[in-house]
Amino acid sequence: MPEFDTSHVKNIVLLGHAGSGKTTLAECMLYEAGIINRRGSIAERNTTGDYHELEQERGNSIFSKLLHTKWRGYKINIIDTPGYDDFAGEVISALRVADTGVMLLNAVMGVEVGTDIIWDYTEKFKTPMIFAVNKLDDDNADFDKTVREAKAHFGSKVVVVQYPRQIGVGFHEIIDVLRMTMYKFKEGGGKPEKLPIPDDEKARAEELHKELIEAIASNDEGLMEKYFDKGELDEDEMKEGLKKAMINHDLFPLFCLSAERNMGSGRLMGFIDNVCPSANEMPPQVTRSGEKLSCDANGPACIFIYKTISEPHVGELSFFKVYSGTIKLGMELENEGTGVTEKINQLFLVEGNKRNSTHELVAGDIGATLKLKNTHVNNTLHAKGRNYELNPIAFPSHNMTVAIETLKKGEEEKLSQALHQLREEDPTLQVEVSPELKQTLIHCQGDMHLAVAKWKIEHQHRLEVKFVKPKIAYRETIRKMADANYRHKKQSGGAGQFGEVYMRIEPWYEGMPEPTDFNVRGRDTYELDWGGKLVFYNCIVGGAIDARFLPSILKGVMEKMHNGPLTGSYARDIRVCVYDGKMHPVDSNDISFKIAGLQAFRHAFQQADPQILEPIYHVEVLCPDDLTGSVMGDLQSRRAIVEGIDSEGHFQKVIAKVPLAEMEGYSSSLRSITQGRAKFKMHFQAYEPVPFELQRKLIDDYSKTAKEEYA
Residue 234 has pLDDT above 70, yes or no: yes
Query: Do strands 100-106 and 129-134 pair parallel, antiparallel, or not at all (unpaired)?
Result: parallel
- How many other C-beta atoms are found inside a 10 Å radius of the C-beta of residue 53? 10
Residue 478 has pLDDT above 70, yes or no: yes
Enter the DSSP assignment of 594.
H
Q: Which residue has the higher pLDDT, 173 or 710?
A: 173
- How many other C-beta atoms are found inside a 10 Å radius of the C-beta of residue 25? 27
Helix/strand/coil percent split, the chain, to 5: 30, 30, 40
Q: Quote the pLDDT of residue 127.
A: 95
Backbone angles phi, psi at 120, to 5 degrees: -60, -40
Residue 56 has pLDDT above 90, yes or no: no
* pLDDT tens for each residue of 196-214: 999 999 999 999 999 999 9
Q: Quote the pLDDT of residue 709.
A: 41
Alpha-carbon distance values, 679 to 62, 183, 295, 442, 561 (Å)? 17, 38, 37, 20, 38
Assign 149 a pLDDT band (cuts: 50, 70, 90). very high
Q: Quote the pLDDT of residue 55.
A: 86
3-state secondary structure of 33: coil
Assign 418 a pLDDT band (cuts: 50, 70, 90). very high
- Cα–Cα dist 330/10, whole Å: 26
- Cα–Cα dist 330/360, whole Å: 10
**What pTM does this model have?**
0.86
Q: Kindly state the average pLDDT of the residues 153-165.
A: 95
Assign 58 a pLDDT band (cuts: 50, 70, 90). confident
* pLDDT tens for each residue of 520-567: 999 999 999 999 999 999 999 988 999 999 999 999 999 999 999 999
- What is the rounded average pLDDT for all residues in the chain? 93
Question: What crossing angle do the helices spanning 235-247 and 221-230 adopt, rounded to 10°?
Answer: 150
* pLDDT tens for each residue of 672-685: 898 877 888 899 99
Enter the DSSP assignment of 626.
G
Cβ atoms 395, 425 nearer than 8 A: no
pLDDT exceeding 90 applies to what percent of the chain?
Answer: 77
Residue 707 has pLDDT above 60, yes or no: no
Task: Identify the CA nearest to 157 among candidates 234, 224, 218, 235.
Answer: 218
Cβ atoms 32, 269 nearer than 8 A: yes
3-state secondary structure of 27: helix
Helix (H) or strand (E) holding 68: strand 65-71
Q: Which residue has the higher pLDDT, 130 or 190?
A: 130
- DSSP for 246-258 reads HHTT--EEEEE-B
Which amino acid is located at 516 in the chain? T
Alpha-carbon distance values, 289 to 207, 389, 390, 391 (Å)? 49, 8, 9, 9
Residue partners of 658: CB distance under 8 A and separation at least 6: 616, 617, 619, 635, 638, 639, 640, 641, 682
Query: Do strands 162-164 and 173-176 pair parallel, antiparallel, or not at all (unpaired)?
Result: antiparallel
Q: Quote the pLDDT of residue 320.
A: 98
Number of H helices, E strands in the chain: 16, 38
- Cα–Cα dist 609/566, whole Å: 11
Residue 710 has pLDDT above 70, yes or no: no
Q: Kindly state the average pLDDT of the residues 452-469.
A: 94
Residue 356 has pLDDT above 70, yes or no: yes
- How many other C-beta atoms are found inside a 10 Å radius of the C-beta of residue 490? 13
- How many other C-beta atoms are found inside a 10 Å radius of the C-beta of residue 441? 18
Backbone angles phi, psi at 230, to 5 degrees: -100, -20
Q: Kindly state the average pLDDT of the residues 438-462.
A: 93
Q: In angstroms, how far is the first alpha carbon of the chain from the final one?
A: 78
3-state secondary structure of 685: strand
Residue partners of 506: CB distance under 8 A and separation at least 6: 478, 480, 481, 574, 575, 577, 608
Range 524-534 burial, b when 16+ CB lie within 10 A, else e? eeeebeeebbb
Cβ atoms 81, 22 nearer than 8 A: yes
- Cα–Cα dist 162/164, whole Å: 7
* pLDDT tens for each residue of 118-147: 998 999 999 999 999 999 999 999 999 999
* pLDDT tens for each residue of 608-650: 999 999 999 999 999 888 999 999 999 999 999 999 999 887 7
Task: Identify the CA nearest to 95 among candidates 272, 306, 377.
Answer: 306
Cβ atoms 593, 545 nearer than 8 A: yes
pLDDT exceeding 70 applies to what percent of the chain?
Answer: 99
What structural domains and CATH numbers belong to the chain? 7-205+249-281 (3.40.50.300), 289-382 (2.40.30.10), 400-468 (3.30.70.870), 476-608 (3.30.230.10), 615-695 (3.30.70.240)
